[in-house]
Amino acid sequence: MKINPRYYPAIIIATYVIFLLLGILLGFGPERGGEGHENSALIQVAFETLESLK
Amino acid sequence: MSAAVREKSFSLAKSRRTIQWIVVFGTFVLGLRHIMPGEASRGGSFDSFCAFGGIETLLPYLSTGHLLKSTNLLNFSVLIATLGVALVAGRAFCGWLCGLGAIQDFIAEWTREFFGERRHIRGKQSKTILPLRLPAVVDRSLRYAKYLVLVIILFASLYAAFPPLREFCPVRAVFSLKMTSLLWLTLGIFLAGSILVERFWCKYFCPLGATLAIFNKISPVRLVTDTNHCNNCGRCDIECSMGIADVPINLDHPECVRCMECLNTCARDGSLTIQIRNKENVT
């Protein structure tokens, strides 16, 4: 399927924004107040799943 | 305005240049913001907005559960966004959204102007002495260096406290405004290299480019050549900032940054088109 070149920049920018938001929604968001961090929600779920399997 | 006139007035090159200026301006603002007091309250250091920072800190995070210093979880979001673009459109991030790629494009343009090119004519070989095109053998060999840089950084990240590229990172050297002697040296090499060779860093040393290269082969949004229309005039080869030879038959080349300058330059309507990959147009 052909894509009109005028939509190409919009496709790239939209993809970038969607995946960035997806990353933030998965818990990889900006942290405030120093270097310390907590695991993301996704990693937390993965760890808990692993724990429950043991 | 008729559809045909509207179509002609649209320039993909101008759109790209506008986006590149916005990216460069935004990255400078980010750098400026991080030399102000209270950096810790601003969502992390300058490094935490870097896609490659996500790659650098990924292995330590998976193996120990801790991030490298100066990175944070936001790096993973930026990395996911960059990989998302790569999944959809190959190395389009390098050609459209990378601040460093934009700076190199600007430097190449300014260099040609400095050496006497008054007006760039698309598809016509520039007569200026710089930027150079390195001999094919040297060029091809040097391009493998970025994969070596990637492997070294991934290995070093397992033993490092800070991201291994941090002290030599040209993005920090150009944008972060927090300079060290090593970053000044990096900036000097980067500027000299970009004046000598177009997209010097992307071609030879960028480890993020090395990571994204594989996606050119699998991304669904791609350029396709219609061999019935293309007459192999070579205009696209001349215009390719990544120096890819025989562009019409190398549209999925790992070095292609999907800048679409070939499409802009093509004089034969329908020779190059942007398409979504399907069984029929897979080459």
- Please answer whether residues B115 and B130 qualify as being in contact, where contact means their C-beta atoms are separated by less than 8 angstroms: yes
Q: What is the pLDDT of residues B152-189, one digit of tens each?
A: 999 999 999 999 999 999 999 999 888 999 999 999 99
The vertex-B16 CA angle with B47 and B241, nearest 5°, equals 85
Alpha-carbon separation of residue B83 from A12, A41, A52, B86, B101 (angstroms): 11, 20, 31, 5, 17
- Least Cα distance to B142 among B182, B199, B195 occurs for B199
Could A9 and B96 be called an inter-chain contact, meaning their C-beta atoms sit closer than 8 Å?
yes
Q: What is the pLDDT of residues A27-41, one digit of tens each?
A: 898 865 444 455 666
Alpha helices for chain A (secondary structure H) = 8-25, 41-53
- In A, what residues contact B, Cβ < 8 A? 1-6, 8-9, 11-13, 15-20, 22-24, 26-35, 37, 39-40
B168 burial type by CB count under 10 A (0-12 exposed, 13-18 middle, 19+ buried): middle
- Please answer whether residues B198 and B104 qualify as being in contact, where contact means their C-beta atoms are separated by less than 8 angstroms: yes
Name the pTM for this structure. 0.90
Please list the ranges in chain B whose pLDDT falls under 50: 1-6
| Entry field: residues in chain A | 54
Mutate one of B274, B275, B281, B282 to test the A interface: name it (highest A CB count within 10 A): B274
Interface predicted TM-score (ipTM): 0.92
Could A31 and B263 be called an inter-chain contact, meaning their C-beta atoms sit closer than 8 Å?
no
Q: Does residue A47 surpass a pLDDT of 90?
A: no
What's the pLDDT score for residue B11? 87
Could B97 and A12 be called an inter-chain contact, meaning their C-beta atoms sit closer than 8 Å?
yes
Query: Which SS3 state, helix, strand or coil, does residue B102 take?
Result: helix
- Please answer whether residues B261 and B239 qualify as being in contact, where contact means their C-beta atoms are separated by less than 8 angstroms: yes
